[in-house]
Amino acid sequence: MGIDLDFEERVCVVTGGTRGIGRQATELFLREGARVVASGLHERSVDALRERLAGFDDRLHAVGCDMRDPDAGEVLVETAVSLYGQVDVVVNNAAAFDYPSGGPVAREEWTDLLDVKLLGYVQLMNAAHQELAKTHGAVVNVAGIAGVLPRPTSPHVGAVNAAIVNMSAAFAAAWAAEGIRVNVVSPGSVGTQRMDERVAAMAVRRGGAVEEARAELYATMPLGAPTDPAEVAALIAVLAAPTFRAVTGSHVIIDGGVTLRQRRSG
């Protein structure tokens, strides 16, 4: 017997739903019978998602929305409620940052990442609070293992991810009495377009070939390869699923053993 995740007719809001992990989560929720509001930053990305998932157009609303905008959370929640009547799940996943050039990280890079990934997450959670209380819903915040394994070349990424873990635990405690669950997923290296960008940036920094940089990076992964974004999406779905009513305040790492190796060698 399979596990019923109980997403039929649920309403899920997924930020960064146009690409990578967020797109996989969007597709999974749709396959499980949910209705989804999925946001992206660029209109061309949003159009591409609509085109790709045209078969689900009665249950998918793809929208362009900059999560750095202080009103973005309200807009997404209002859209979900006006189209589908409720909000059961929020997946905060949208983020963008440049891979490090090796120099100091500029103030604008810090504020940009804080705006989209920390404040953007908090704004959407606050905007969805009342709706989530009505549905006893769930939030899954996507952080990243840099929050526990600081990267010397991108301190802003680790700092924001660590803050997300702390902030999410605070919300989990504050909202538990209303039946709202809040959990965090921290991926390690995931096989998305960003992985290729990261490898390319490494190669430029070291002045070597891209394939050498890729081999070097993959050699740091105990399981030998990046995580499939569909696997991260499946973990997000489990944490968001109404089936798992007791899971809250958790931080689940999905990194192919990278943090384990660090702990053992550290």
Ligand X SMILES: NC(=O)c1ccc[n+]([C@@H]2O[C@H](COP(=O)([O-])OP(=O)(O)OC[C@H]3O[C@@H](n4cnc5c(N)ncnc54)[C@H](OP(=O)(O)O)[C@@H]3O)[C@@H](O)[C@H]2O)c1
* Residues near ligand X (CB under 6 A): 15-16, 18-22, 39-42, 45, 65-68, 93-96, 116, 142, 144, 187, 189-190, 192-195, 229
Least Cβ distance, residue 189 to ligand X (angstroms): 5
Nearer to ligand X, 5 or 21 (CB): 21
Least Cβ distance, residue 229 to ligand X (angstroms): 6
Residues ≥6 apart with Cβ < 8 Å to 52: none
Task: Name the strand (E) or helix (H) holding 187.
Answer: strand 181-187
Nearer to ligand X, 146 or 242 (CB): 146
Q: Which residues pair with 183 in a beta bridge?
A: 140
Nearer to ligand X, 6 or 47 (CB): 47
Nearer to ligand X, 30 or 65 (CB): 65
Least Cβ distance, residue 126 to ligand X (angstroms): 17
Nearer to ligand X, 93 or 183 (CB): 93
Cα distance from N-terminal residue to C-terminal residue, the chain? 42
Least Cβ distance, residue 233 to ligand X (angstroms): 9
| Contact indicator for 10, 88 with CB cutoff of 8 Å | yes
Q: Single out the residue of 152, 221, 232, 217 nearest to residue 185, CA to CA.
A: 232
d(CA 7, CA 3): 11
Task: Name the strand (E) or helix (H) holding 213.
Answer: helix 210-219
How far CA 43 is from CA of 48, 49, 63, in Å, comes to 8, 10, 8
Least Cβ distance, residue 1 to ligand X (angstroms): 32
Nearer to ligand X, 204 or 230 (CB): 230
How far CA 55 is from CA of 9, 59, 60, in Å, comes to 17, 9, 9
Dmax of the chain from CA atoms?
55
Least Cβ distance, residue 47 to ligand X (angstroms): 10
Give the residue closest to ligand X by C-beta: 20
